[in-house]
C-alpha cells in the first residue's frame, strides 16, 4: 500500500505538476487512510483488498472523529484519485471508491471584507521599513489580482510587467494566465522593489528570483503570509478574521458588485468551471438583500 501511495504522489508531481501544498494534502489524507486500514480488525495491506464497504467504513470512522463534511469529502476525493491512478496503471480492474457517494456539503458563503475594511487593511502596514513596504505590496497585489496565496509566493520578478500592469501566473494544474493590477498596487510594488534593492536580504543573494522574500533573503512562504495577514488584521482592528483566500473572495465579490462580467471574473481567478465562480453571485445577492432590508421603508 505504501509503495503504491508513493508512486501515486510521484505521478502527481512529475506528470500532473501539482503544487507542493496539494501534494502534502494528498499525502496526509492517504497516510491517514493507510493507518485506518492497518488498524482494522482484519488489516488491509494491499490496494486490491479494498472494496467499497471498506471505504464507507473509513468515512464512518472520520465522521466518528468529528471531521466535518468538507474534510471527509476532500479525503474521499484523495482516495478516489489514488484508486483511479491504480486502474489507469493497470494495477486494478476497477475503482472501489467510484460507487461511494460524496457527503452532501453544507453551502457556506465565503468569508470576506467589505470595501471599507479592505481599505483600512491595505493602509495598515507601515511604509518606513522594507518589511512594511513588502507587506503592503503583497496585500495590494492579493486584493488587486485575486491570486491564490500559493501563486503569489511563487512569483518571480520576471513574471511582473510593470509597464503593462500585468502578471503571468502559474495556477493550478500548471495553467498559465495573465492577471491585472492597478496604479495603487503598482506604486506599492515600486516602493517595495526600490527598498529591497538596498536591503541586507537582497545583499544575501539567495532570493534574487523571488518577488517576495523574507529577512534572510529567501522566498516568502504561504505560512508566513497567513501569519502576516492575521497580525495586520489585529493591528487594524477589523472585526472579521479572514485568510489570504478571503482577499481573493473579496476581490471577486467587489468586482461583481460593481458590474463586472462573471466570465471575466472566472478568467481572472483562473477557475476551470464557471460554476465555481457562480458562488459569488450568492454573496452579491446576500449583500443586495442586506441593503434592501436596511434601506426600504416597507422591507
Residues noted as catalytic: 148, 172, 245, 248, 271, 280
Q: Give the Cα separation of 141 and 189 in Å (integer).
A: 8
Q: Give the Cα separation of 171 and 10 in Å (integer).
A: 19
Q: Give the Cα separation of 247 and 283 in Å (integer).
A: 14
Per DSSP (E only), the strands in the chain are: 160-161, 166-170, 176-180
Encode 120-173 in three state secondary structure. Answer: HHHCCCCCCCHHHHHHHHHHHHHHHHCCCHHHHHCCEHHHEECCCCEEEEECHH
Q: Give the Cα separation of 210 and 157 in Å (integer).
A: 6
Q: What residues pair up with 169 in beta bridges, in sequence order?
A: 177
Scored b (16 or more CB within 10 A) or e, 220-253 reads bebeebeebbeebbeeeebeeebebbbbbbbbbb
Where is 87: in which H helix or E strand?
Answer: helix 69-88
Instruction: Say if CB 162 and CB 187 are below 8 A apart.
Output: no
Q: What is the chain's length?
A: 299
| CA–centroid distance for 215 within its chain | 24
46: which residues sit within 8 A by CB, 6+ positions away?
Answer: 1
Amino acid at each position: 500500500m505504501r509503495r503504491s501511495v508513493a508512486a501515486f504522489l510521484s505521478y502527481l508531481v512529475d506528470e500532473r505538476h501539482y503544487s507542493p501544498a496539494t501534494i502534502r494534502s494528498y499525502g496526509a489524507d492517504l497516510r491517514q487512510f493507510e493507518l485506518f486500514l492497518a488498524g482494522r480488525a482484519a488489516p488491509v495491506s494491499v490496494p486490491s483488498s479494498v472494496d467499497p464497504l471498506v471505504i464507507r467504513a473509513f468515512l464512518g470512522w472520520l465522521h466518528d472523529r468529528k471531521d466535518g463534511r468538507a474534510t471527509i469529502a476532500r479525503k474521499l476525493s484523495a482516495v478516489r484519485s489514488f484508486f483511479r491512478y491504480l486502474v489507469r496503471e493497470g494495477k486494478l480492474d476497477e475503482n472501489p471508491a467510484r460507487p461511494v457517494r460524496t457527503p452532501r456539503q453544507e453551502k457556506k458563503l465565503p468569508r470576506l471584507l467589505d470595501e471599507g475594511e479592505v481599505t483600512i487593511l491595505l493602509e495598515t502596514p507601515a511604509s518606513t521599513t522594507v518589511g512594511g513596504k513588502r507587506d503592503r505590496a503583497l496585500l495590494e497585489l492579493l486584493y488587486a489580482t485575486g491570486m491564490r496565496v500559493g501563486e503569489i509566493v511563487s512569483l518571480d520578478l520576471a513574471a511582473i510587467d510593470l509597464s503593462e500592469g500585468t502578471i503571468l501566473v502559474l495556477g493550478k494544474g500548471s495553467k498559465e494566465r495573465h492577471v491585472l493590477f492597478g496604479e495603487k498596487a503598482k506604486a506599492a510594488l515600486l516602493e517595495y522593489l526600490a527598498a529591497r534593492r538596498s536591503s541586507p536580504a537582497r545583499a544575501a543573494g539567495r532570493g534574487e528570483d523571488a518577488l517576495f522574500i523574507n529577512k534572510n533573503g529567501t522566498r516568502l512562504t504561504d505560512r508566513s503570509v497567513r501569519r502576516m495577514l492575521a497580525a495586520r488584521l489585529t493591528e487594524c482592528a477589523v472585526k472579521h478574521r479572514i485568510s489570504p483566500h478571503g482577499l481573493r473572495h473579496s476581490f471577486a465579490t467587489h468586482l461583481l458588485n460593481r458590474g463586472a462580467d462573471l466570465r471575466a471574473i472566472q478568467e481572472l481567478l483562473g477557475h476551470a468551471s464557471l460554476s465555481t465562480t457562480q458562488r459569488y453571485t450568492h454573496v452579491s445577492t446576500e449583500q443586495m438583500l442586506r441593503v434592501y432590508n436596511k434601506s426600504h421603508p416597507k422591507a
